[in-house]
Structure 1
Amino acid sequence: MGGSVLDWRVYGCAPSLDTFWDEPRNLGRGAAGDADIAAVQARLGIELPAWLRSLYARYDGGAVRMARARSLHSDDWIDADWLVPRARLLPLAEWFSLAELRRREDYRDDAFAALAADDSRLIAIALGEDNGTLCLDYSAPGAPRIVLTDQRQRLRDYPGHIEFLADLVEIQYWNPALQARHDPHATLRCDPQPPSLDTFWSGPGYWAQGGATPADEPALAAAEARLGLRLPALLRALYLRQDGGSTEFAWVPLRRQPSWHLYDWESVVPGEAVFALAGLQTLADWAAAFQGSDALYGFVRNYAGCERLLILATHNIEWLLCLDYRERGPQEEPEVVAFEFFGELVELYRARDFHRFFADLRRGEIV
């Protein structure tokens, strides 16, 4: 299939002020007005440089598309550093000086002495986990420097926005659909035949012990009782052939009469493997195992009914294939939906039932 699920790739670099924001993820977010700029300048005793005024005239903080940079200690993109923590700039009203942080958290007076002689001149504009903080440094006269710090040392230091933007890249795990959006000329060589019960499975999957084995009716009944829902009849029949595993049928069309351009297709079986019965869990169950992570906990907080989204296949949390019982109930035929998650749960594909999904599936490779 050409590309490992563990393969990080660069999908953009060196944004301009016009391409800095992640537009789709900032829908509904407003611009910073003159009053907002005047308020933050008065509160922090600073003057916003022209480049930040330009950015905030579009959005008052929000998601950025390119947020990382090549690691200072590794040539592998998987080790890329975050230059914009959490890939988001704070709204102006949430900017703060490290002096305010020190007072609020009751740090000792010299806590940030290694960063600046006067920590009131270090203004945080993006904040991540593990004290990763992007700051404007107003210590010297003139335009502020841009500093990334872990609040103990300066990790990166830029004289201005041109040098800062030049280091920024967008990287993600390789994904066929993502690749398609960046390569409009790519095509898919596709087997026109959908799968059957005999052809769907192609191997046992990496988790299997002792090869591919079928499930039985007691195992199906136990899984349904544990999950509190009924699996589609066709999926049950697949499990009676093999209890999860690998498949070459991962592609679905995104329109009724698709071309062979890759942008008309979506790869919806992450890792080309379906969970065994014992591995099935709802999205709520999945999120509950990661209560310490804001992003994953957000599923429970932000997506009502996630206890009725049953995950059939996933790669980490970025791509999910689910049975969706939210509309019809846990004992009825579910819809099938594929999601992408990079800060928000975005629907990529939906089928009215498992039969429709199964009929849509194709084997294919990018050419």
Structure 2
Amino acid sequence: MSTRLSSNGLAPVLRIAMGLLIVLAMGTAGWLHRSPWIVLLATPLFTVLYALGKWKAWTLAWRLGGAQRIALSALVTLPIQAVLAGVFYLLGLGLSMLLAPTAPIAVFSTSDVQWAAALFVVAAAVSAAIIGLESKASPAAPEPMVAAPSPAPEAEPELDIDPTPLNLDTFFESPGYWRKNAAREALAQRGTPVEKPPFAASEAMLTATEARLGFRLPDTLRQLYGRMNGGYVGWLYVPLKRDAGPFHDDWRGAFSIDYSSLAPLAELRTVAEHYEDFTHEPEDVPAGADKLVVLQARYGDMTLLDYTRGPQARVLIADFDRQPGVEPVDIAFENFDDFLAALRRVRPERGVARTVARDLGPPLGEAPEEWRAPMFWGEAQPHFFHLNAVQRKDGSEPQLVADDALIAQTEARLGVRLPGALVALWRVKNGGGVSCRWVDIADGEGQPYSEALRYLMPMEYLATLAELSDRIVFPPGETPWKQRFDAPQRLVVLEADHGRVVMLDYRDSAAQAPAVLVVDDLDRGPPRELLRFDSVDALLTRLRPRAIGYEDVAKPWQPPAATD
């Protein structure tokens, strides 16, 4: 069951009344020409009353940092409260002197102390009443989510929501961009062992994370982590009302749209820990922050596990960047299963069928010979392999273009003769993003074309699958990649991206040229052969650039304009 949240009504009214009382009291002290020393006396009182007004934030600060955290916060708050008390005093004094400019300033006396004590008693009593009201009110007292009228049927749809519910198999789309890419690092570092993070979380990892957080994760979430230790989930939304239509106001993005990922176990932390990165002010920290676990956050936009009610976590989607007084929680789910059942994915292109003719450009094989290399690579720019190596300052910088010496050295090191068509491409650009990387073969997931290449390695980074596997320190329980193939020393890796590899296959000694093998999901079990081409030439002639949509690897090359 999902709920929309309401705010408590009486407590804010009392807060406003108490604030006005304090302002009027200091203004009155100035109006009556009381001693200016009363400002100094009022400063610690203002600070205590301020802390009472932010009771939940300051109690959270005490739990997180004890007396040291409170002292640090008080040192920041004291001068601010002194300035405020002084301003209100001077305002009252200034108004009074307009009417009676010759009236003397009173000498500091016990009556000033009595006045401050009376102010403190009254304000403390009001603060205690406010704290009591807020503690009785549920911090997330839900009101049933009611249906609200959607825009008129003739309104232009804004979202194309796929009505299919998600499940354990469809929740993740990929391991995620920010996950450590052990395969690519092992190629780029050319010999330095690279520790590969577990693709899926083990029971030991889950238990350790729960011990660190102090909460048990929901069972279904534990199963998701058992499939993949965090990763990219795509653009997911939950409905804000029962009859949600295809409009933005009817839906709320989950897992922080644009980031759109479930954090790996090692990155799970509470909202309180999240806020420690940028503030030490208790009042900046949301209430109950030490019992809210962040599944994903983009600034204040968060998808959370809420343990404020007990050991069974609710799921909240909130935005803590909103103005004070505005309810940060948009929607709450009583448990993770309800949340998962409500999640829906957005179709990338509403009502438009993907086709090779519409989405892709002409194949490389139809281009003039002199155009093929620039078409293959796309817009010319230094490849990021070289730029990253320069930053490492370890002498591993690959050449920007291949020459005869590099080609001979690479072939001698690998013990094979590289295909001439591929060598010709390296002579133009020694590795990088590939623009012509699509082939007109269905990918098995509803798309009529498949991605063959993405980032072709520089020649210096080429290695056999056996060598690549030996450079990776696999986590317990994962089979080293070289053990998944026969004769892995005869497979030359052209590209490696997480569990996806593109290889030249030299295992058939009778073949005149190596085949090209594209394998996916090495992390998830037995190798899944996506594509196979009899030769590099057979692959290159079929490669096409993308003709529509955003290109995040290599922008298509534009041929020179024809001249008369």
**Structure number with higher helix proportion:** 2
Which structure's CA Rg is the greater one? 2
Sort the TM-score into its range (normalised by shorter chain).
0.3 to 0.5
TM-score, normalised with respect to structure 1: 0.47
**Structure number with higher strand proportion:** 1
